[in-house]
Amino acid sequence: MRILLTNDDGIASPALAQLKRVLSPFGRVITIAPDRNQSASSQSLTLHRPLRIQETAEDTYSVDGTPTDCVLVAFHGQLGVPPDMVVSGINHGPNMGEDVFYSGTVAAAIEGVLQGVPGIAASLVTRAQTDFVTPADVVGRLVRQVLERGLTRRLLLNINIPFRPADELKGVKLTRLGTRLYADTLVRKVDPRGKDYYWIGGEDPVWEPRPGTDFHEVSDGWISITPMVLDFTEERALGELAEWKLEK
């Protein structure tokens, strides 16, 4: 068993060492992560410049690219036999609801699934300083279940773990993606040379309090596991659009 470990927080994230600790009993762990923070990079690829890959330790590489680049390096970068599973995280912050479409953490797990292996994305719901020990233990237990039972092809698991001591976690709940309400704005500023620049800002989003969603259950102290499929096709809409007589 070869497990690819990656993230979008960068090669210096302490979460990588904790994940390697819990994943090593299952096989060889190869860490390939961005050389810097790549949060919110989504499924982006580096296409207009070469990538630089640096071996920083045994079975550990940094890439000056995105999390998706890192997964492609593992499968096609001549670093040995391709991995049998991709574990992405543990993200230092949540990835719930619509945020999964922006997340580099989730994108890396998606790329693993696209390459034909199980993908797991894990996030800790806090920005506070932490040692990642408890969330890594949670991920390790889930990986054991995946290895024993398998995953349906083209399906990935998105995990969000409350920031609580282990004895205060209520357990695991299977959830659906929730919904955030955003109030984004584009904030205009002027630099010291008199030129305009912009920040994407706005108020912090709030989530709809619907039971059964990742937001709701995590806020109540449960570990959220959301199974996600890669086929976005809306079957019902195919029938509805057929009535539009678009061929005429």
Q: What is the pLDDT of residues 203-233, one digit of tens each?
A: 667 888 899 999 999 999 999 999 999 988 9
Q: Per the confidence metrics, is the pTM higher than 0.85?
A: yes
What residues of the chain score a pLDDT lower than 50? Answer: none
The answer to whether the CB of 116 falls within 8 A of the CB of 189 is no
Task: Read off the tokens for 165.
Answer: 């001591």
Q: What's residue 202's pLDDT? A: 66
Q: Is the dihedral of CA 70, 58, 142, 76 positive or negative?
A: positive
Q: What's residue 203's pLDDT? A: 67
**Triad 151, 42, 19: Cα angle to 5°:** 55
Q: Residue 11's beta-bridge partner residues?
A: none
Question: What separation, in Å, do the N-terminal and C-terminal C-alpha atoms of the chain show?
Answer: 54
Q: What's residue 186's pLDDT? A: 83
Q: What's residue 128's pLDDT? A: 92
Please tell me the distance from the alpha carbon of residue 10 to that of residue 5, in angstroms, as a whole number: 11
Q: Residue 3's beta-bridge partner residues?
A: 29, 85
Transcribe 172-237 into DSSP letters. Answer: EEE-B---EEEEEEEEEEE-TTS-EEEEEEEEEEEE---TTBHHHHHHTTEEEEEEEES----HHH
